[in-house]
């Protein structure tokens, strides 16, 4: 028998054996990624009707913000949640119709069906700081809606340049992970509207999700005071978050990978797709932080051939060389990843937001300089608010954000909680219970979330250290304020004690200042003059902190005290 015939007989036998059920008692089959997430909803944050309603709003709002502020557009977002009439009849759980509309860049009609109908399809699989990163969020919500309400998603969208508004009603074919379009339409655009409107129905629990949804929108408004957000609730309430500044943070930009962040698989795919004709050109063209001189030095240091064709590295037998290249890329001290591609919130916007939300007595914020972990640039920003309208609590109220997303669940698993709860606040003159809010924001081209539900961030040492530095930096300023305030309060207390005696001392002085031969009760003008002089002396001991940029006149305070004593 020929070798070919032998091989084909063997493979036929193998196929027959695999098809025979019961050899191990196991049944094997493939599962599409859509089916996987339909069956494991909790992985994407859809564990129960309460979380599902919250997560749906979150995914839709985040897509709207990515399509607006990240593209230089001042966001306008309208969220409506309505209970579907009669949906809870016969003991069923209530269902809700959720619509989120924005004034964003829109979705091109050619990508619309896939963007909303194929799990792991996204415009965000690039190195750029965006809220979205997995290509899953809206599809997880659509799948949940499909499974619990049985209705399709309805999307209207118009891009900026387009003359048409497009509409699609679709469901996700779970077995094939493909969109199944049920209805489509297009209309001539009247006005200049551009943006997206998504409507879907799902089973939910508004009464339980309400507080979380409101908190989520409020916290979004804290760091996006440039957004106008309207929320219509099933209770018939309308929450309006007006725009309080037109200042928009610099939008993030796409960047190339940093050599410290690549692995073998990524390198292979880059080598496969490059147009560079030599290894040296490949390094300069495809990576950030590598210029001509650096490439030359790098190749010389590791004895790599600068003229080698990139595809040569993909050939069989070259695996060792490929691994050497990845190790060298990791090891060589390249310039840190570029961070001007990132879009931090900015300390001024953080302060505006915290003031608006809490009306505190003191606010401070910092936007730290960029750092990197495993080739990914990141920026940590921290804001602290103290006193005023903040309720005292037994621990700091922590507001966590990652790429401008408020994170509300899994607080104790988050790196920010780990840091903030380990700080010795006594050192900063804060004694609990205290009215203290700490906001932490991490901006990165890759936030190391613990799960696809994006609720907590892993404790990467570089990020943890930066959060600690940032919190300490602002906390030191708070300590300065609190100790100055304590000193001033003490000075005022002492001055008040002195001020109480001013009327009496002024009268006595008036007697003493007359020659003994002319002793008679002093005239009121004389006493008044002496009182004024004493008020000035006592006021000199009072230093007051400015409130909203204005400082109260210490003399006015002492005068008030003197007048109140006089009245007595
Ligand atoms: N309101 C919108 N405006 C413009 N594009 C949108 C909008 N909603 C969704 N898209 C497009 O659909 C794609 C898929 O969205 P989806 O929510 O599934 O994932 P993602 O946002 O990319 O990532 P993640 O799963 O991390 O949220 C987006 O990448 C975006 O291109």
Tell me the three-class secondary structure of 44-105, residue by residue.
Answer: HCCCCHHHHHHHHHHHHHHHHHHCCHHHCCCCEEEEEEEECCCCCHHHCCCEEEEEEEECCC
ipTM over the 0.95 cut-off: yes
Give, using CA atoms, the residue closest to atom 8 of ligand 1: 63
Q: Which residue has the higher pLDDT, 543 or 76?
A: 76
Q: How far is the CA of 107 from the centre of ligand 1 (A)?
A: 9
Q: How far is the CA of 305 from the centre of ligand 1 (A)?
A: 42
Question: What mean pLDDT is predicted for residues 464-485?
Answer: 95
Q: Final residue of a domain: which of 423, 449, 477?
A: 477
Q: Which residue has the higher pLDDT, 509 or 17?
A: 509
Query: Which residues share a beta bridge with 547?
Result: 550
pLDDT at 90: 67
Asked if residue 356 has pLDDT above 90, the reply is no
Q: Are residues 63 and 164 in the same domain?
A: yes
Q: How far is the CA of 132 from the centre of ligand 1 (A)?
A: 7
pLDDT digit string, tens, across residues 98-147: 999 999 999 999 999 999 999 999 998 888 889 998 899 999 999 999 99
Question: Is residue 65 included in any domain, yes or no?
Answer: yes
pLDDT at 455: 92
pLDDT at 5: 74
Question: What mean pLDDT is predicted for residues 506-518?
Answer: 79
Question: Is residue 220 included in any domain, yes or no?
Answer: yes
Q: How far is the CA of 45 from the centre of ligand 1 (A)?
A: 16
Q: Is 134 close to ligand 1, i.e. is its CB under 6 Å away?
A: yes
Question: Is residue 254 included in any domain, yes or no?
Answer: no
Question: Is residue 26 included in any domain, yes or no?
Answer: no
pLDDT digit string, tens, across residues 260-270: 888 899 899 99
Q: Is 159 close to ligand 1, i.e. is its CB under 6 Å away?
A: no
Q: Is 137 close to ligand 1, i.e. is its CB under 6 Å away?
A: yes
Q: Is 73 close to ligand 1, i.e. is its CB under 6 Å away?
A: no
Q: Final residue of a domain: which of 211, 241, 271?
A: 241
Q: Is 130 close to ligand 1, i.e. is its CB under 6 Å away?
A: no
Question: Is residue 115 included in any domain, yes or no?
Answer: yes
Q: Are residues 233 and 263 in the same domain?
A: no
pLDDT at 385: 97
pLDDT at 161: 87
Q: Is 196 close to ligand 1, i.e. is its CB under 6 Å away?
A: yes
Residue 485, SS3 per DSSP = helix
Q: Are residues 429 and 515 in the same domain?
A: no
Residue 175, SS3 per DSSP = coil
Question: Is residue 374 included in any domain, yes or no?
Answer: yes
Percent of the chain at pLDDT > 90 equals 62
Q: How far is the CA of 67 from the centre of ligand 1 (A)?
A: 9
Asked if residue 199 has pLDDT above 90, the reply is yes
Q: Are residues 107 and 226 in the same domain?
A: yes
Q: How many CB atoms lie within 10 A of CB 8?
A: 11
Annotation: binding site for ATP: 63, 102, 123-124, 132-139, 454
Q: Are residues 110 and 234 in the same domain?
A: yes
Asked if residue 1 has pLDDT above 70, the reply is no
Q: Are residues 471 and 492 in the same domain?
A: no
Q: Is 115 close to ligand 1, i.e. is its CB under 6 Å away?
A: yes
The residue segments making up the domain with residue 379 are: 347-477
Asked if residue 544 has pLDDT above 80, the reply is no
Structure token digits, residue 473? 């930096």
Percent of the chain at pLDDT > 70 equals 95
Question: What mean pLDDT is predicted for residues 203-231?
Answer: 94
Q: Is 64 close to ligand 1, i.e. is its CB under 6 Å away?
A: yes
Give, using CA atoms, the residue closest to atom 21 of ligand 1: 132
Q: Is 107 close to ligand 1, i.e. is its CB under 6 Å away?
A: yes
Q: Are residues 466 and 362 in the same domain?
A: yes
Q: Are residues 324 and 397 in the same domain?
A: no
Give, using CA atoms, the residue closest to atom 7 of ligand 1: 63
Q: How far is the CA of 195 from the centre of ligand 1 (A)?
A: 13
Cα gap 443→382, rounded to integer Å? 11
pLDDT band for 372, please (50, 70, 90 cuts). Answer: confident
Q: Are residues 95 and 201 in the same domain?
A: yes
Q: How far is the CA of 495 from the centre of ligand 1 (A)?
A: 62
Q: How far is the CA of 90 from the centre of ligand 1 (A)?
A: 36
Question: What mean pLDDT is predicted for residues 518-523?
Answer: 75
pLDDT at 549: 61
Question: Is residue 20 included in any domain, yes or no?
Answer: no
Q: Final residue of a domain: which of 458, 477, 496?
A: 477
Q: CA neighbours within 13 Å on the CB side: how many for 386?
A: 23
Q: Are residues 432 and 319 in the same domain?
A: no
| CA-to-CA dists, residue 42 to 117, 146, 212, angstroms | 19, 16, 17
Q: What is the CATH number of the domain that holds 285?
A: 1.10.8.50
Give the ligand 1 atom nearest the CA of 115.
Answer: 12
pLDDT at 554: 80
Asked if residue 27 has pLDDT above 90, the reply is no
Q: How far is the CA of 198 from the centre of ligand 1 (A)?
A: 11
Structure token digits, residue 14? 């193998």
Residue 558, SS3 per DSSP = helix
Give the ligand 1 atom nearest the CA of 198.
Answer: 1
> Residue 529 has what DSSP assignment?
H
Question: What mean pLDDT is predicted for residues 168-181?
Answer: 97
Q: Are residues 386 and 459 in the same domain?
A: yes
Beta carbons within 8 Å of 459's beta carbon, 6+ residues apart: 415, 418
Q: Are residues 144 and 208 in the same domain?
A: yes
Ligand 1 binding pocket mutation candidate from 63, 119, 177 (most atoms within 8 A of CB): 63
pLDDT digit string, tens, across residues 275-297: 999 999 999 999 988 999 999 99
Asked if residue 94 has pLDDT above 80, the reply is yes
Ligand 1 binding pocket mutation candidate from 64, 73, 121, 135 (most atoms within 8 A of CB): 135
Q: Which residue has the higher pLDDT, 4 or 228?
A: 228
Number of domains in the chain: 4
pLDDT at 287: 93
Annotation: binding site: 63, 102, 123-124, 132-139, 454
Q: Is 68 close to ligand 1, i.e. is its CB under 6 Å away?
A: no
Q: Compute the mean pLDDT over every residue in the chain, rounded to the nearest whole number.
A: 90
Question: What mean pLDDT is predicted for residues 556-561?
Answer: 83
Question: Is residue 247 included in any domain, yes or no?
Answer: no
Q: What is the CATH number of the domain that holds 411?
A: 3.30.230.10
Closest CA to 58 of 297, 378, 409, 306: 409
Give the ligand 1 atom nearest the CA of 139.
Answer: 18
Q: How far is the CA of 494 from the centre of ligand 1 (A)?
A: 62
Cα gap 251→228, rounded to integer Å? 18
Q: How far is the CA of 122 from the centre of ligand 1 (A)?
A: 6
Q: Which residue has the higher pLDDT, 413 or 10?
A: 413
CA torsion 421-423-428-434 (nearest 10°) is 10
pLDDT at 271: 94
Question: What mean pLDDT is predicted for residues 168-174?
Answer: 97
């Amino acid at each position: 028998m020929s070798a070919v015939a032998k091989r084909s007989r063997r493979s036929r036998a193998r196929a027959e054996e695999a098809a025979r059920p019961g050899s191990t008692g196991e049944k094997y089959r493939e599962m599409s990624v859509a089916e996987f997430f339909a069956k494991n909803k909790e992985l994407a944050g859809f564990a129960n009707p309460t979380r599902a309603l919250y997560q749906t709003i979150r995914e839709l709002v985040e897509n709207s913000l990515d399509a607006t502020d990240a593209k230089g557009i001042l966001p306008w977002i309208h969220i409506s949640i309505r209970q579907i009439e009669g949906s809870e009849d016969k003991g069923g759980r209530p269902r809700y119709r959720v619509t989120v509309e924005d004034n964003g860049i829109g979705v091109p009609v050619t990508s619309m069906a896939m963007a909303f109908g194929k799990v792991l399809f996204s415009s965000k699989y690039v190195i750029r700081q965006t809220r979205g990163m997995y290509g899953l969020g809206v599809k997880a919500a659509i799948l949940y809606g499909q499974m619990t309400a049985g209705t399709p998603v309805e999307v209207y969208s118009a891009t900026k340049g387009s003359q048409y508004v497009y509409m699609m009603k679709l469901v996700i074919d779970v077995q094939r992970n493909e969109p199944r379009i049920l209805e489509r339409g297009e209309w001539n655009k009247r006005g200049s509207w551009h943006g997206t409107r998504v409507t879907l129905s799902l089973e939910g629990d508004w009464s339980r999700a309400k507080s979380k949804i409101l908190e989520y929108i409020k916290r979004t408004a804290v760091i996006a005071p440039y957004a106008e957000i309207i929320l219509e609730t099933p209770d018939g309430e309308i929450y309006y978050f007006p725009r309080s500044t037109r200042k928009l943070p610099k939008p993030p930009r796409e960047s190339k990978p940093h050599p410290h962040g690549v692995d073998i698989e990524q390198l292979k795919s880059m080598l496969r797709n490059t147009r560079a004709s030599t290894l040296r050109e490949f390094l300069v063209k495809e990576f950030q932080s590598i210029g001509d001189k650096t490439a030359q030095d790098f190749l010389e240091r590791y004895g790599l051939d600068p003229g080698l064709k990139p595809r040569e590295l993909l050939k069989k037998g070259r695996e060792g060389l490929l691994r050497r290249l990845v190790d060298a890329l990791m090891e060589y001290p390249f310039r840190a990843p570029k961070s001007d591609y990132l879009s931090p919130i900015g300390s001024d916007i953080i302060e505006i937001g915290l003031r608006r939300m809490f009306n505190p007595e003191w606010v401070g914020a910092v936007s730290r300089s960029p750092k990197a972990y495993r080739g990914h640039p990141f920026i940590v920003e921290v804001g602290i608010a103290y006193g005023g309208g903040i309720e005292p609590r037994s621990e700091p109220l922590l507001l966590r954000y990652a790429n401008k997303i408020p994170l509300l669940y899994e607080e104790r698993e988050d790196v920010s909680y780990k840091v903030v709860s380990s700080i010795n606040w006594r050192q900063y003159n804060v004694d609990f219970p205290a009215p203290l809010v700490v906001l932490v924001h991490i901006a990165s081209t890759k936030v190391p979330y613990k799960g696809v539900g994006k609720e907590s961030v892993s404790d990467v040492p570089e990020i943890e250290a930066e959060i600690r530095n940032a919190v300490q930096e602002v906390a030191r300023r708070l300590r300065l304020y609190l100790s100055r305030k304590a000193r001033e309060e003490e000075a005022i207390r002492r001055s008040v004690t002195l001020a109480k005696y001013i009327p009496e001392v002024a009268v006595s002085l008036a007697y003493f200042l007359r020659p003994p031969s002319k002793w008679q009760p002093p005239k009121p003008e004389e006493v008044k003059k002496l009182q004024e002089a004493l008020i000035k002396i006592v006021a000199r001991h009072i230093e007051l902190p400015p409130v909203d940029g204005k400082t109260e006149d210490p003399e006015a305070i002492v005068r008030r005290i003197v007048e109140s004593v006089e009245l007595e």
